[in-house]
Every structure is written in structure tokens, then in C-alpha cells.
Structure 1
């Protein structure tokens, strides 16, 4: 038997934080390629520490629902899963290239295929573009539009910004959008000044966050000038400094995220068959965010 565990942060304060995790798990569960699909969290139940024990399967694929490589993917999750012999050097990663490593769970003896985070997978580029399509209701959006890919950013972890730049560069190289910029909350260039970085009249802003919460629903809209008070709401699009801002909210709420999770598991050897294409077709048919 084979199981998939989607490992996410969760929150004691925001009940919506785990909603995307459960939704993507449901999508993958419906595809029927794993005997078990389980959600696990740092700040909610079931916990990282206990989840392997709850599974009947002897072979487990663990996919971290995180944007960047760093503290949680390199220390917290491996420690809580009790991965025997874990060493971050096993990744051989440059901050973007972690794929998977196969180890044993010390207390259960189960085989664990531990994967890199979803946020650094190349398929996340497609999700960002899909997010732009969803918020504009235009499957051909791009020509004449600017695109801002927004991350948290932090001077404490150089890897935090790498995923943002990686996907912005890939989309820019595709030539689909007139302009593409990587912007941040806590480092330069800052999203507060979004209109300073674009000439395009229309700008789609996609935050590379897993779930909607304090940053995506309160900080970023106020910082960009969409509203003076997030509690009063804002228009989409909203006009700021002569530009129309199409603000999408967290990329992780996009249904196509389920595809990236499956891609990560497939890269680690999971026999997913045609489930990836099935999920892509299903999410395209339903469309939009959760």
C-alpha cells in the first residue's frame, strides 16, 4: 500500500489556513492513485509527529506544502517525521533544486519518500499563470498586462526569495506578459510601490503564499493602496496611480496546486499514472480558486 501525506503549516489563529490543504487532498483522493491521502500540520491536527503512525501503508510519499526550502522543510518536518539518517546535504540543493530522498521512519519502520516543497517545482509557474487567468476571467490574459509575483522575503533566509525570482524569470522568458516583476513584503523591491515598476495600465498581482491570511488579505491590499482598511474590502480591479490592479490573493488556493503536489510525488517515484493530466483537466473544467 502507498500513501501520500501533504505537510502544511496550519494555524491556531486562522481557521482558513488549512482549507487549501484539505481541498487539494480531496482532489488527489478523488483521482484514486494512492491507497491513503492524509493531511498533516505543524500548528493543527493531525501533526507531523503523529501522521505516519496513523497510516496503514508501508510506503509513504511526503510533499511539503511550503513555498521555499528552509527551516520547515530542512529541519522541522524531517525531525518530526523521525527520518532516520536525515541530512540536509542529501538534497545537494542550491535552494531551488531539492527533489526527494528516501529514508526510513525510525519509530514505524515505514519507507518515506521525502520530497522538496511545492513552491520550487517548475509546475508552480503554471499555477501562477492560472491564478492570473482566474482573477481576470481571461484564459488568454498576458498581452498588454504586467504581472507581479509577490513573496514574503526576509534577510534571514536567502532561499526565501529564490522561488519568487525563479518563477518570475520563467514567466518573463515565456514572453506571455508585457512585463513581469518579482516583488516582496519585507525586502526590496517592495510590493508597496507596485505601480512604480510597471508601465502597463493593467497589473495582475499574484502572492506566492500557500493560504490566504493576515499577509494576503490585510497587509498586501493595504500596502498597495487598494484600500485604507481591509475590513471595508476593495474592488478587483482597483485603480491605483492610474493603473488597474487585479489582485488575486494566495496562489495556494488555486485548484491546480493539486497537480504540483502530484508532480512532486511522481518525481519521487510514485506511480501516479495519468492522474496528473486528469487533475489538470478537472481543475481547468471547474476553474478558479476554492
Structure 2
């Protein structure tokens, strides 16, 4: 039986680049032949989530939300737009970071849908954050002598937003790789504005847990941290701030290894992906360290 992968993301009417990482990860997954069909659907762009299931012919569909945390979009908007028959907000039985998958039927297409938890809460996301630190510093062994700030939006409207950030910060802290690891936020304490006050390390890597670069990651956070007074003036990486060096990485979702998280989500839900996880890890490592390379050929 053929199987399809549908990656669902927010998208934007205002920032046409917000969908670029989603398409790039879909291209990577398509190149390694993990699924018979790989498509993307968006809330704010075309193809719309409501119609995306009609763009694949497979009866078996794995849907992975490219969102950082569980909440309104993953628990209400996406299931509603996909018309998942029998969906309930407690279907994942999650504590806010432990969503796995649930198998339901799309009411209008009759397809069997394996609806997965968001990419952002999967354990493999921890590896992507670390890889992001490696990429921005150019050092695959970065850690000793460095602090790491994992930054989220934070909001009083959804406690799960901060849970995902804390979860990955805790996992990285347990690795004992970086001298210090802190979770910081834009809209709640501890705030990223005061990033240098939370670290003794002279070098601090800052990785925002956002799917795509946009207003928050390109304007708000750099200005709030003091990298620049006006984001349009630009800044260096690293940029000196308060006697420390800030290595600002930009949105974690733009990291090529993110494709691995998406595949792992689907694999956990029962997708037959063969050796695609290993192949994607190899492909993204080559692409990032050597400036691009041909993908290994897909299995026949």
C-alpha cells in the first residue's frame, strides 16, 4: 500500500519566506524516497490545510504538524480542517510535550490518517538545536566554554508553549556538553532581553525555537538582545554585547536536519521509511559542512 506524508505548517500572508523551510524539508524527504508522495499544506497559504488531503492519492497518510508546541493549531485548527472523524483534544493523552500519534479517518476523503504530534516536541528536536549551534559557530564540537540559550515565544494563553522550550533545554543540559543551558522567552520571564545576565560564559549561542525566520526572529529578538538598535542595520555573528559574544543562530526550523524530525514523527506512527532517517542525517551533514552535495539516490 502506498503511503503519503503531509507536512502542515502555519505559513504567512505577510512573509512569503515563511513557507520556505517547509518546502525545503519536503524536498529533502522526497529526495531520499521515504514516501510515495510528499506534500505541504498551510493555514495561511496555498495549498490550504482544508484541501491538502485531496492533493495526494495514497489511502495511508501520515500528517506531521510543523509546529513547535501542542496547542490551538495542533489540537483544534488542523484536525478540524482535515475533517478528522472522531478527533478529541485528549486523543494524544499528552502532558503537553508527549503527543505521539492517533489514527483516524478523514470524513470527506475516506483516507486513513495517522495524525502525529508536532515536530517541535519530538525528542529528535534536541539534536536539531545542538546542530543549529554547530552550524552558527562552524564548530561540530561546540560546547566547552559556551553557554546555550534556547529561546521561545512564551505566552500566558498556552502553557504548552513554554513546556516545549523547557523540555529541550533540560535534555541538552543533561548532555553536559555546554557549560550552561538556559531557556529564555520573549513574553515571559526569564526574558531574552537580559540574555547576558543569565550566563557566566563569554560565548553564548542563542537558538530560537521558531519554525521559520520572520518578524520575531529577524527583528524583535536581535533588537531585544542588543545585537543592534535597528535590525535593518545588521549585526555580526558573533556580536559583542555587555562584554560577551552572542552567536545568534536564527530560527531552528531552518536547520536542514529538521527533515529528520519530520520523518521520525511519521516512523513513530508506523510509516515504513526504510533507512531514510540515516540517509537524511548523512545528507544534511554533507550539505551543511561542505556547502551542498548531491543527495544519495533514492531506493528503487
Q: Give the TM-score, by structure 2 length.
A: 0.96
Other structure's SS at 1:223 match = helix
Identify the residue that residue 116 of structure 2 maps to in structure 1: 115
What is the distance in 2 between the residues matched to 1:78 and 1:43? Answer: 16
Distance 2:56 2:20 in 1: 22
Equivalent runs, 1:74-223 vs 2, <5 Å? 74-223=75-224
What is residue 73 of structure 1 aligned with on the other side?
74
CA apart distance, 1:198: 0.1
- Counterpart of 2:298 in structure 1 is none
Please give the alpha-carbon distance, in whole angstroms, between the structure 2 residues aligned to 1:66 and 1:176: 26
What is the CA-CA distance between 1:199 and the residue it aligns to?
A: 0.2
Partner deviation per Cα, 1:131-168 (whole Å, 9 max, x = no partner): 00000000000001000000000011110000100000
Structure 1 distance, partners of 2:55, 2:125, is 29
1:244-263 matches, within 5 Å, as 244-263=245-264
Matches within 5 A, 1:31-42: 31-42=32-43
Equivalents in 2 of 1:76, 1:84: separation in Å?
14
Gaps of 5+ in 2: 293-300
Of 47-56 and 187-196, the range deviating more from structure 2: 47-56
Q: Tell me the distance in 2 between the aligned counterparts of 1:228 and 1:89.
A: 44
Calculate the aligned-residue CA RMSD, in Å. 1.0
Partner Cα separation in structure 2 for residue 90 and residue 10 of structure 1: 25
* Residue 9 (structure 1) aligned with residue 10 (structure 2): yes
TM-superposed CA distance for 1:54, in Å, is 1.6
Listed as ranges, the gaps of 5+ residues in structure 1 are: none
| More off after superposition, 251-260 vs 54-63 | 54-63
Superposed displacement of residue 89, structure 1: 1.3
Q: Distance in 2 between matches of 1:59 and 1:244?
A: 49
Count of residues in correspondence between the two structures: 290
Please name the residue that 1:273 is paired with. Answer: 274
In 2, Cα distance between the equivalents of 1:89 and 1:67?
18
Any runs of at least 4 consecutive aligned residues in structure 1 with deviations exceeding 6 A, and if so which? none
CA distance in 2, matches of 1:172, 1:61: 32
Shift of 1:33: 1.9
Q: Within 1, Cα distance between the matches of 2:114 and 2:214?
A: 30
- State the alpha-carbon separation in 2 of the partners of residues 104 and 89 from structure 1: 17
Aligned-partner SS, 2:126: helix
Partner of 2:295 in structure 1?
none
Give the secondary-structure state (helix, strand or coil) at the position aligned to 1:61: strand
Whole-angstrom CA distance in 1 between matches of 2:69 and 2:240: 31
Provide the C-alpha distance between the structure 2 equivalents of 1:279 and 1:263, rounded to a whole number of angstroms: 11
Task: Give SS of 1:183's match.
Answer: strand
- What is the CA–CA distance in structure 1 between the aligned matches of 2:84 and 2:116, rounded to whole Å? 12
